[in-house]
Amino acid sequence: MLLKLRLYIWGAILVIVALFVLCLIVIGAYTSAISQSSVQQDYSNECGELNGVTENVMSYAPLVLKELDNQGLSTEYTNCLLAQMMQESGGNPPDVFQASESKYGYIGGIKTVEESIEQGVKRWVEIKKEIDGYENLTFNVDLLLQTYNFGSNYARWLSKLGSNHTEELAYEYSVYMAKRLNQPNLYRCHSVHQNGEACYGDFQYVAHVRRYLVNDGSIISPDNPQSGYFQVPYPNLHFRVTSDFKMRWGRMHQGIDLVAYHNAPVSASADGEIVDSRYSDSYGNLVTIKHDNGLYTRYAHLENRYAKVGNKVKQGQVIGTQGNTGRSYGSHLHFEIRKANDYNANSAINPRNYLELPKEGQ
């Protein structure tokens, strides 16, 4: 009798323990699902991979991650914030986000990197909350970035229009604010794109931040475009010419070698269609584009290719990154302009006929 009682007790204990463990599993799964759902709903990874940021900027990544976590924003925004830091200051301390005016109302108030990062992330939180408060605006990183540059009134202005951010609307707002404030000594145009009228803020702020981020399909607009049909494949980046279009090693070098930095974004020189995208033993990763003027441009030794045959691309669209693949002896871009999609020397054209390029070695 006593033995049976003990067995019943132990059986009951085991059932209770099993139910308790089952409850923990269910609660854990539910919490995880809620957490994942929240992240997927509120935040999307719109940032891409970093390109061309300084070591200073990269050294602040742990502080940015920590501050995002402290203020409840997804760490998926880390690269966006680091790219923005690069645009604002190049990582030069102390005010790496140039956030003094938003906190103190004047320049120079922030004295430490930590304070600048805290204020920069805080502005992201505030702007996101403001955007989410407008029923007719849809949150995205580009809208947040442009609002960061222009100020909160930009989102309010868009809401009244019932339109989300575009570069065209940012231009219109810049013109409107420059005329409204009428302070030409304070708001000056610095780029040919501003046409002497869009002098308030930087209506191309999103593009200027995203030049440090690479995604398939990213488009980089040059600050000072060249007048011809083609643009250099490194918009807004400093680069050198390491080998010209000339006889080299007993044969014709049918293109020109350019060096920005390893993994620098390489952009389409003009609108066109991808007619070749593959790996070659000699050219490495290469992309060839056919253009509307009947000419072809070729980009070789790429580290990465962001283009598929048949794709239509726009001028400035990132199609790959500078690399050292194939028969290459250092990271660079071999760039060609051709009359045909072939490898004959008589179809190769000197890129200098179409582009303003530095002298060899500069």
Same domain? 200 vs 246:
no
Q: Is the per-residue pLDDT at 137 higher than 50?
A: yes
Task: Give the model's pLDDT for residue 12.
Answer: 61
List the domain range (segments joined by +) for residue 276.
Answer: 240-353
Task: With H, G, I as helix, E, B as strand and everything else as coil, classify residue 219.
Answer: strand
Q: Is the per-residue pLDDT at 5 higher than 90?
A: no
Task: Give the model's pLDDT for residue 69.
Answer: 96
In whole angstroms, give the CA distance from residue 58 to residue 67: 15
Same domain? 143 vs 266:
no
Please check whether residue 113 lies inside any domain of the structure. yes
Same domain? 201 vs 53:
yes
Number of structural domains found in the chain:
2
In whole angstroms, give the CA distance from residue 59 to residue 33: 33
Task: Give the model's pLDDT for residue 21.
Answer: 56
Same domain? 54 vs 202:
yes
In this prediction, what percent of the chain has a pLDDT beyond 70? 82
Question: Who wins on pLDDT, 282 or 12?
Answer: 282
Please check whether residue 20 lies inside any domain of the structure. no
Please check whether residue 212 lies inside any domain of the structure. no
Same domain? 200 vs 342:
no
Residue 284: which CATH number?
A: 2.70.70.10
225: confidence class by pLDDT, cuts 50, 70, 90: confident
Residue 150: which CATH number?
A: 1.10.530.10
Domain boundary among 180, 206, 232: 206
Task: Give the model's pLDDT for residue 29.
Answer: 43
Q: Is the per-residue pLDDT at 23 higher than 80?
A: no
Q: How many CB atoms lie within 10 A of CB 278?
A: 12
Lowest mean pLDDT among 102-106, 144-148, 182-186, 254-258: 182-186
Same domain? 68 vs 140:
yes
Beta carbons within 8 Å of 221's beta carbon, 6+ residues apart: 193, 204, 207, 235, 316
Please check whether residue 325 lies inside any domain of the structure. yes
Same domain? 254 vs 183:
no
Task: Give the model's pLDDT for residue 96.
Answer: 96
By the 8 A CB rule, do 86 and 53 touch? yes
Same domain? 168 vs 63:
yes
Same domain? 250 vs 301:
yes
Please check whether residue 79 lies inside any domain of the structure. yes
Please check whether residue 29 lies inside any domain of the structure. no
Same domain? 164 vs 272:
no
Lowest mean pLDDT among 30-44, 121-135, 182-196, 230-244: 30-44
36: confidence class by pLDDT, cuts 50, 70, 90: very low
